[in-house]
Amino acid sequence: MPRISGVDIPADKPIRISLRYIYGIGPTNADQILKELNIDGQRRAKELSEEDLARIIGIIDRSFLVEGALRRNIQQNVARLRDIGSWRGNRHRRSLPVRGQRTRSNARTRKGPRKTVAGKKGVKELGK
C-alpha cells in the first residue's frame, strides 16, 4: 500500500479515489492535485512511480491542511466559538444542531438516543 501524508491509501483503486482516504481531501481537491501534476486519475495507485507519489505528497504538504493538523484546526475553531460565548459555540457545548435545523422532531444524531421522561403524558389532572 502506498503511503501519502502518513495515511495508507488503497493500491488497487484509481488514484483519484485513493486520495480521498486522506482526511481533508475530497473529490474536487483530488482531481485538482492530479490535474496540476498531469497524472491520469484512472491510473491505479500501485502503478504510480515513487517520483509521482513524491510530487503528490509535495503538493499536499504545500497546499492543503490534512489529517491531524486539520482536525486540530477544527477543534481550535470550535473551542474559540465556545470561549467567546457565541450562539454556535453554545450549540456545540450543548450538543445540539449548530446550523439552524429543527430539534423538536429531528436531530437524533446530534442529541443521541431518546431520554424518556417518566409520567409526562399519562398524568391526570386532579379535580376534574
**Under CATH, which number does the domain 73-128 receive?**
4.10.910.10
What is the pLDDT at residue 23?
A: 92
Residue 12, number of CB atoms within 10 A of its CB: 10
Q: Where in the sequence of the chain do the CATH 1.10.8.50 domains occur?
A: 3-63
DSSP element (H, E) containing 20:
none
**1.10.8.50, 2.70.70.10, 3.30.499.10, 3.30.470.10: CATH of 3-63:** 1.10.8.50
Q: What is the predicted pLDDT for the residue at 59?
A: 92
Q: Is 119 left (phi over 0), alpha (psi -120 to 50) or beta?
A: left
Domain with CATH 4.10.910.10 in the chain: 73-128
Q: What is the pTM of this model?
A: 0.74
pLDDT of 125 reads 63
pLDDT of the residue at 72: 95
Would you state the pLDDT for residue 45?
A: 86
Say if residues 16 and 25 touch (Cβ distance below 8 Å): no
Q: What CA–CA distance (Å, rounded) separates 19 from 25? A: 7
* Successive 10-residue mean pLDDT values, the chain, 128 residues: 78 91 93 92 89 91 91 95 94 92 90 84 63
- Say what the pLDDT of residue 65 is: 92
